[in-house]
Every structure is written in structure tokens, then in C-alpha cells.
Amino acid sequence: MASTKPIFIAVIGAGGVGKCFLSQLRDLAVRRPSPKLSLCYIATSRKALYNDDYSSINLESAIDTLASSSKTPQSLPDLVEYLTKAPGKAIIVDNTSSQDVADAYPTVLKAGVSVVTPNKKAFSGSYKLWQDIFQASAASGAKVYHESSVGAGLPVISTLKDLVETGDEVTKIEGVFSGTMSFLFNSFAPTSGGGGKWSDEVKKAKELGYTEPDPRDDLNGLDVARKLTILARLAGLPVESPTSFPVESLIPKELESCSSGDEFLEKLPAFDQQMDEKKASAGDKVLRFVGSIDVATKSVKVGLQTFEPSHPIAALKGSDNIISFYTKRYGSNALIVQGAGAGGDVTAMGVTADLIKVIGQIAQ
């Protein structure tokens, strides 16, 4: 029963994740010739590439051709109109972290175009946007998949959805949701004792490319809060926004107003003693930056906690993420997923795997 109609794919964003995704899409199109995957549109914030007859852009050379294209991106309403006229089902792959693109999902989905994305903004913004997205999807039958919005390619969203949809009762979700925070605390407060100065570890993490250009964008905890918002909502809690629950920032108050990340890093050593005191107060336990959701008490929080060295969260390595699902069926031992939760290739993997799932459902 080979599907005959092609699937039309529009890709927005061609940065780190976008480039890895295009490479995976190219291989996928070769390995699975049916249904034919037609990359009919690709755009960055400034340039675009598309064919009026919906024929596929050459996947081998898409990035180079895009760089030399003189076309500008279509507005999102225009893009939706273009895709609804395609001779087959269409999917938008949003590899940006743009709130504007996210805000358009309800319109996209209402028009019958599916969405696959690692973009956290759509699912961790206002609760109204979340409701609009899933209502639009239910009404039109268009799909929306976002595995890589939490833990990159790790099976986190899919596992939580399986637990909920099969009727398990999720009682608690707990974990380390930031590769940056994982790296920082595994180095600053290793289970074996010791560890470097806090400010040195932050500098090292930045040098290794583990932080955002301004490390405060990791240290403020908002990235973790966004991921917790998504998981809490999937578990049934109508969390209003990522700022509607307690989030502990590791940016000293005095440094919030620094004009740059460099100025912040210069002044950070003066606050090393504060972090050393926190580490010392953990005693035989170790300090970790975690997010947790207690479903029964509807409590969501992000911040420092202490763990026995033998606890899986304490024993994490490198910049790995770990996510523990406590449920009625799984009892006292959690269902645990662990591994790299950031990086272009593994993030794109989650996007590609979602794409395959959506194709399986919409192919005609």
C-alpha cells in the first residue's frame, strides 16, 4: 500500500538545528522513497527559497542555494495559503525559537497544515496559546509534535504522552533539564567531593560552548521553567506561564543589571563565596539544579536541591539530562530517561522522528 501523494514540507530556520535537520531529511528521503517528501519552502528570517509549482528544492544544495536566493520570506498567512494549495498534505517544520512563528501555529493548524518543531515558545507561553494550538489541531486533524522542546531527542514528551493517554496517573516529574546546569553542577559539586570555583566553572562552560552567549540566559532558570511548563501541562496542570511558579535564579541580584555577559563574568568571582556556602550547607549530599512537578499538590518549581550521592540525579555525568517519571503504575521506582539533552544533531533527531510519525498519520 505505497502512498501515492507526496508530502510537502516547509522548513523555517536554518541555524544549528535547521542544518542538522536538513541533512537528516535528505537521508530520510533516500531511505524512504514513499511517500515522496517535497521540500517546497525553506526560509531564514531574511531569505527564502520556494517553487511556485511545489516541486522539491534540491536537498543536497538547499543551504547554499538559500544563501544566494533573492527571495524574501513569505508572511506566515501567505505561507499557510501557499501550503494549503499544495497538491497533498503539508507540514511546517519550525526550527526557530521565534515567538512570532509560534503564535501562528493555531492558524497553521486550523488550515490543516501540521507542525513539527523543537520551538519551546509555543508550548510554554501563555496557556491560551497552548489551548488554541491543541483545539485547532483537534478541529482540523492536523498534527502538532514537539518532542525536542524538552530534552532534545530524548523520549520525554512521547513517554509522558503514552503514560497519560494509556490512563496512568503521573504523580511527580523530577529531573535535570538543562545541559548547562548539569555540566556546571557536575563540575562544581561532584559526588566525589571537591570541585572548582563557581565563576571558573561558568567561564569554562561558556568556553566549551555549553552556555548561551550571555550565560545569564541559562543561569536565570527560565529555560528550565519553560520545559517544566510544557511537561506540567501535558500532565494535566493548567500552568499559566513559565513565570507563574517559583524559579530560583543563580544570577546575583547585584549582577542582573550588568550591560553584557562579559561584564557579568568579570564581576561573578566576587560571589563565589555565596555558592561555596550553599555547597557546604549540603553536607554529605550534593547540590543540583532541578525542576520538579508535584501533580497532586499542583506544585511546580525550579531551583537548587540536595541529593544523596547515590541518587540518579546526583550521579549524572557531563552535560546529560535526566528525567524521572513517578506514576501509579511504576510505583516507587521511577521510569527514568537520561542522556544528552542539547546539541544540533540530537535535537534534529527528535524533529525528524516526529516528522516520520506525522507522515505516518497524514499520508494518503
Write b or e for each residue in 140-169: b if 16 or more Cβ atoms lie within 10 A of its Cβ, otherwise e. Answer: eebbbbbbbbbbbbbebbbbbeebeeeebe
- Up-side HSE of residue 276: CA atoms within 13 Å toward CB? 12
Which positions lie near its own copies, rule CB under 8 A? 1, 24, 27-28, 31, 139-141, 153-155, 158-159, 162-163, 165-168, 310, 312, 315, 317-318, 320, 329-331, 333-340, 343, 345-346, 348-349, 352-353, 356, 360-361
Q: Is residue 13 a known part of a binding site? A: yes
Of 304 and 340, which CB lies nearer to its own copies in the complex structure? 340
Minimum CB separation of residue 248 from its own copies in Å reads: 26
Grid coordinates standing for 163? 503514560
Distance of CA 347 to the CA centre of its chain: 8
Minimum CB separation of residue 321 from its own copies in Å reads: 10
203 assigned to active site: no
Of 17 and 251, which CB lies nearer to its own copies in the complex structure? 17
Minimum CB separation of residue 364 from its own copies in Å reads: 10
Query: Which ranges of 208-342 does DSSP label H, i.e. alpha helix?
Result: 216-219, 222-234, 261-267, 272-281
Q: Is residue 232 a known part of a binding site? A: no
Q: Which listed residue (227, 278, 298, 301) is catalytic? A: 227
Q: Which residue matches cell numbers 530520510?
A: 28
- Which helix (H) or strand (E) is 164 found in, with range? helix 157-165
Q: Is residue 212 a known part of a binding site? A: yes
Minimum CB separation of residue 254 from its own copies in Å reads: 36
Phi-psi region of 172 (alpha: psi -120 to 50; beta: other; left: phi over 0): beta
Of 221 and 341, which CB lies nearer to its own copies in the complex structure? 341
Residues annotated in the binding site for L-homoserine, as ranges? Answer: 212
Residues with catalytic roles: 227
Residues annotated in the binding site, as ranges? Answer: 13-18, 96, 120, 212
